[in-house]
C-alpha cells in the first residue's frame, strides 16, 4: 500500500487538485483531502511536487529493436513475405532490454509495441507496461491493433529484390486481396458454426489473425506519412468497413479538413528526426498543434527507437512550442492514447479504480529541466531518483 500526500495532482480527466492518493493491490482506491494514512502504507510526501498519470506512447517498437545490438536484437520486421498479419510482438519483445529501464525513469509506464513497416501487413500490436521481467505479466491488452504499412518502406523492402510490391498500387492490391480472403474465411467459419453439416474451413493462421479487424474489435494501425497514402488507407477501410488509426500522419497538416471530416484517430510523430526519406519532406513539429487546434484528439509518439521512448514528454513540450495547447499535449500522451488503444478503463488518468500507474515530477513534465522523482507501476514503486 502506498499513500501519496500533499501533491498537486493533474488527473488529466478531472482537473488539477491538491489531494491525497491511496494505492492498494495495484489500484487507485481513494483520492481526496485529508485522507487517513493507513498504518501499513508507504508514505510519499509530494509537497511542492507534481503528480501525473504515467505517460503512454501509442506507437513504439520497444523491445523489438534492442539497444545497440544490430541484427541479433532486431526482431521487428520479418522481411521474407509482405503479408504477415499473424505475427505478434509478444514473441519478440525482450523486457530486459535497457530501454525499458529508461522508459520507467522517463515516466513512461505503458506503450503500444508494434511490428515494423517493412511489410504491407506486418502483424499484430500489443499494449504493455514498461516494468517487468516476463512479458506475459506486462500485457495490458493483446492485440490492440493490426499493423499495415503504405509507401516507401514496403516499396523499398521488396522492390529492390524485384518482388511485389514495387508500387503503391501493389500495396493497395495486396491489402484488398487478403482482406477479401479473410472475409471469405469468416463467412465459411460462420456457416460452419451455424450449420452442423457444413465443413469446417481449413485453419489459416493469417486469416484467423485478421478476424478481429473484420469484426471491428481492433483497428488497422496504419503506417502512412504522405497524404495520398492516408487517403488510400481510408478508401480501403471504407470498402471493408474497418476501424483505423492513422499513425505518423506526417502530411496531416496539409489535409486538416479531410481528417476532421473523417474522424479517424491520429497518432503524430516521430517529429524530432531528420528528413531521412522523401516521404518526410513536409515533416514539421507544427502538425500536432494544427490538427489538435482543429478539434482532433490526437496522440503523440516517439516511434522508439527512432526517438528514445523516454523523450515522449520532450516531444510534447516541443509540440506546445509549435502551437499545441499545453493541456492537449498532456492528453496526447495520457488519456488519448489510452482511448485510441482501447485501454482507458485501466490507464491514462488518475481515477479511483484505475491501475496505479503514477509518476511524481519536480516540475512540469513538458519542460526539459524537469525530473521524474518516483515512478509507480501497478501500485509498485519501481523507480526513485
How distant, in Å, are the alpha carbons of 92, 99, 165, 297 from that of 171? Answer: 25, 33, 6, 29
Query: pLDDT value at position 168?
Result: 98
Which cell numbers in the block locate residue 165? 510490391
pLDDT digits (tens, 9 = 90+) for 206-238: 999 999 999 999 999 999 999 999 999 999 999
The pairing of beta strand 358-361 with beta strand 372-377: antiparallel
DSSP-derived letter for residue 65 is B
How far apart are the two ends of the chain, measured CA to CA in Å? Answer: 20
Task: Summarize the confidence of residues 12-21 as an average pLDDT.
Answer: 97
Question: Which contiguous run of DSSP H or E holds residue 289?
Answer: helix 286-293
Query: pLDDT value at position 196?
Result: 78
Question: Which contiguous run of DSSP H or E holds residue 90?
Answer: none
What phi and psi, each to the nearest 5 degrees, are found at residue 280?
Answer: -100, 15
The answer to whether residue 28 scores a pLDDT higher than 90 is yes
The pairing of beta strand 299-300 with beta strand 266-268: parallel
pLDDT digits (tens, 9 = 90+) for 131-186: 999 999 999 999 999 999 999 999 999 988 889 999 999 999 999 999 999 999 99
Query: pLDDT value at position 161?
Result: 84
14 contact partners, CB below 8 Å, separation of at least 6: 349, 351
From CA 24, how far away is CA 379, in angstroms rounded?
Answer: 7
Q: Identify the sign of the CA torsion 252, 283, 237, 243.
A: negative
The DSSP secondary structure of 179-193, one letter per residue, reads HHHHHHHHHHHHHHH
Q: If you count DSSP H runs as helices and E runs as strands, how many of each does the chain have, helices first?
A: 10, 16
From CA 112, how far away is CA 166, in angstroms rounded?
Answer: 29
Are the beta carbons of 251 and 264 closer than 8 angstroms? no
Residue positions counted in the chain: 385
**In which band, very low, low, confident or very high, does the pLDDT at 193 lie, cut at 50, 70 and 90?**
confident
Task: Summarize the confidence of residues 183-206 as an average pLDDT.
Answer: 92
DSSP-derived letter for residue 279 is G
From CA 155, how far away is CA 166, in angstroms rounded?
Answer: 5
CATH 3.20.20.140 spans which residues of the chain? 55-347
Are the beta carbons of 191 and 106 closer than 8 angstroms? no
Query: pLDDT value at position 160?
Result: 83
The answer to whether residue 123 scores a pLDDT higher than 90 is yes
Query: pLDDT value at position 162?
Result: 87
Q: What is the mean pLDDT of the chain?
A: 97
Which cell numbers in the block locate residue 36? 487517513
Q: Of the candidates 127, 153, 148, which has an alpha carbon nearest to the alpha carbon of residue 62?
A: 127
Query: pLDDT value at position 198?
Result: 86
Q: Which architecture does CATH list for 55-347?
A: Alpha-Beta Barrel (3.20)
From CA 74, how far away is CA 244, in angstroms rounded?
Answer: 27
Are the beta carbons of 221 and 249 closer than 8 angstroms? no
The answer to whether residue 312 scores a pLDDT higher than 90 is yes
CATH 2.30.40.10 spans which residues of the chain? 1-53+349-384
How distant, in Å, are the alpha carbons of 214, 277, 326 from that of 209? Answer: 10, 31, 39
Query: pLDDT value at position 326?
Result: 98
Query: pLDDT value at position 69?
Result: 87
**In which band, very low, low, confident or very high, does the pLDDT at 289 lie, cut at 50, 70 and 90?**
very high
Which cell numbers in the block locate residue 385? 531518483
Query: pLDDT value at position 370?
Result: 98
- Taking each helix axis from N to C end, the angle separating 227-240 and 168-194, rounded to the nearest 10 degrees, works out to 20
How distant, in Å, are the alpha carbons of 27, 133, 137, 149, 264 from that of 115? Answer: 30, 21, 20, 10, 21
From CA 291, how far away is CA 326, in angstroms rounded?
Answer: 14
Alpha helices in the chain (DSSP H): 98-105, 152-159, 168-194, 205-214, 227-240, 256-262, 286-293, 312-321, 326-331, 335-341
**pTM for the structure as a whole:** 0.97
Query: Which CATH superfamily does the domain covering 1-53+349-384 fall into?
Result: Urease, subunit C, domain 1 (2.30.40.10)
From CA 69, how far away is CA 146, in angstroms rounded?
Answer: 26
Are the beta carbons of 10 and 16 closer than 8 angstroms? yes
Query: pLDDT value at position 11?
Result: 98
**In which band, very low, low, confident or very high, does the pLDDT at 82 lie, cut at 50, 70 and 90?**
very high
Amino acid at each position: 500500500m502506498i499513500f501519496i500526500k500533499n501533491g498537486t495532482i493533474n488527473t488529466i480527466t478531472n482537473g488539477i487538485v491538491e489531494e491525497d492518493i491511496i494505492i492498494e493491490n495495484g489500484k487507485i482506491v481513494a483520492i481526496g483531502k485529508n485522507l487517513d494514512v493507513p498504518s501499513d502504507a508507504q508514505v510519499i510526501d509530494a509537497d511542492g511536487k507534481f503528480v501525473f498519470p504515467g505517460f503512454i506512447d501509442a506507437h513504439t517498437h520497444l523491445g523489438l529493436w534492442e539497444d545497440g545490438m544490430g541484427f541479433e536484437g532486431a526482431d521487428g520486421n520479418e522481411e521474407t513475405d509482405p503479408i504477415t498479419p499473424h505475427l505478434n510482438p509478444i514473441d519478440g519483445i525482450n523486457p530486459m532490454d535497457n530501454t525499458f529501464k529508461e522508459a520507467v525513469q522517463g515516466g513512461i509506464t505503458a506503450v503500444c509495441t508494434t511490428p515494423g513497416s517493412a511489410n504491407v501487413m506486418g502483424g499484430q500490436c500489443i499494449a504493455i507496461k514498461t516494468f517487468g521481467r516476463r512479458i506475459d505479466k506486462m500485457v495490458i491488452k493483446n492485440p490492440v491493433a493490426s499493423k499495415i504499412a503504405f509507401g516507401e518502406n514496403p516499396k523499398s523492402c521488396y522492390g529492390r529484390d524485384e518482388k511485389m510490391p514495387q508500387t503503391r498500387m501493389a500495396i493497395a492490391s495486396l491489402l484488398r486481396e487478403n482482406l477479401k480472403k479473410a472475409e471469405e474465411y469468416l463467412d465459411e467459419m460462420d456457416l460452419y458454426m451455424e450449420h452442423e453439416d457444413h465443413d469446417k474451413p481449413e485453419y489459416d493462421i493469417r486469416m484467423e489473425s485478421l478476424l478481429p479487424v473484420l469484426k471491428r474489435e481492433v483497428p488497422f494501425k496504419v503506417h502512412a506519412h504522405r497524404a495520398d497514402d492516408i487517403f488510400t488507407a481510408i478508401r480501403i477501410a471504407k470498402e471493408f468497413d474497418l476501424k483505423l488509426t492513422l499513425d505518423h500522419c506526417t502530411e496531416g497538416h496539409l489535409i486538416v479538413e479531410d481528417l476532421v471530416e473523417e474522424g479517424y484517430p491520429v497518432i503524430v510523430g516521430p517529429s524530432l528526426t531528420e528528413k531521412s526519406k522523401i516521404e518526410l519532406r513536409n515533416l514539421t513539429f507544427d502538425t500536432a498543434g494544427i490538427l489538435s487546434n482543429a478539434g482532433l484528439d490526437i496522440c503523440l509518439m516517439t516511434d522508439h527507437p527512432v526517438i528514445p521512448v523516454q523523450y515522449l514528454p520532450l516531444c510534447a513540450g516541443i509540440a506546445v512550442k509549435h502551437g499545441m495547447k499545453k493541456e492537449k499535449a498532456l492528453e496526447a500522451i495520457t488519456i488519448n492514447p489510452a482511448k485510441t488503444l482501447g485501454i482507458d478503463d485501466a490507464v491514462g488518468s488518475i481515477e479511483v479504480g484505475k491501475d496505479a500507474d503514477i509518476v511524481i515530477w519536480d516540475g512540469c513534465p513538458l519542460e526539459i529541466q524537469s525530473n521524474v522523482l518516483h515512478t509507480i507501476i501497478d501500485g509498485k514503486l519501481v523507480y526513485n531518483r
